[in-house]
Structures are given as C-alpha cells and as structure tokens.
Amino acid sequence: MNELVAEPAPTVEAPSVLGQRLHAVLDAERVVDDLRRYFGIGLPSVAGTFTGGWFEHLAGGGDRRQVVDRFTAEDLAAVQTLSVTVPAPVALDLMEGPLGIQLSELLRGIPSDIDLSDADASVVADGSPAYRAWCLLEDQYKVGWVIAGKLSSP
C-alpha cells in the first residue's frame, strides 16, 4: 500500500526592510502621478518636471542614426540632467579628440538593436567593447565610475 507523505510547505522569507519600503512606495496611489510628473507626461511645458526625465530623449535621443556611436554636445547636456558634469577637457576630447575616436570605434562593436539590460552577459563581459569603453571613460581625469556610468547609459 502506498502511503501519502506530506511534503513540507516551502519556506517563504519575509521581505527585507528595504523590500517592505519599496513595496509601500510602489503600491502608493500617487506613484502613477509621481511618474507622470517626473517625465512631464501631460504637463504643458518642462516647468515643474524633473530634469532626469529628459535624459534618454533630449534632442531626439542618442541612438538616432545621425549621432549613434559618437558623443555629442547633446549627450553631455543629457548627463547634466542627471546632476553630473563632465570635466571640460574630457568633454572636448569626447566630441573632437582622440578619446572620442577611440570610443566611437568601441561603440560600433556594441549591439545597438537591443537594450543592454536584455543583452547576453558576454556583451558586457571583461574585454568586450562595452567593458573597454566603460573603463576608458572611468580612467579619464575626474570622471570615475559615476560619470562613466551615466555617459555609457542609453
């Protein structure tokens, strides 16, 4: 005769304090209105919107065919919407110097038809064009990982 053996119920861990706070924020009724205000959706002008909401879309975005794979003045203004400033010598080198040429070559080696968050890990692995571009940016005078990360974002 087969005996039925009850399997123990899976253990469910309680959310961390941070997880609880995040759920509370995301479940709040005002979250949709906050996001609309951040991105300026339905507002008559940029007044009252948060500047970071313009980052990906400033001047039509950095993935336009005319400007893809190179740094432009619009890219530098876009990172300022995220409250960082690229040092002037680095900015000039990005737009018109050898640094810009090196980065353009690396950027051409990064797939542009998918979001990096959806890409295979090999696209950003050590030695990949994306990784080398990030390292090259990070090594620039007064750039570091924060500004390099914002410059290398979509």
Question: Is the pLDDT at 54 greater than 80, yes or no?
Answer: no
Report the pLDDT value the prediction gives residue 21, as an integer from 0 to 100: 79
The DSSP 8-state label assigned to residue 69 in this structure reads T
Question: Is the pLDDT at 90 greater than 70, yes or no?
Answer: yes
At residue 89 the predicted structure's pLDDT band, cuts being 50, 70 and 90, is very high
Helix (H) or strand (E) holding 105: helix 98-108
Q: Name the pTM for this structure.
A: 0.58
Q: What is the residue extent of each domain of the chain?
A: 17-49, 59-151
Dump pLDDT digits (tens) for 1-21: 556 666 666 666 777 887 777
Dump pLDDT digits (tens) for 63-85: 656 656 778 888 888 787 777 88
Percent of the chain that is helix, strand, coil (3-state, to 5): 50, 0, 50
Mean pLDDT across the chain: 75
Mean pLDDT of 109-131: 80
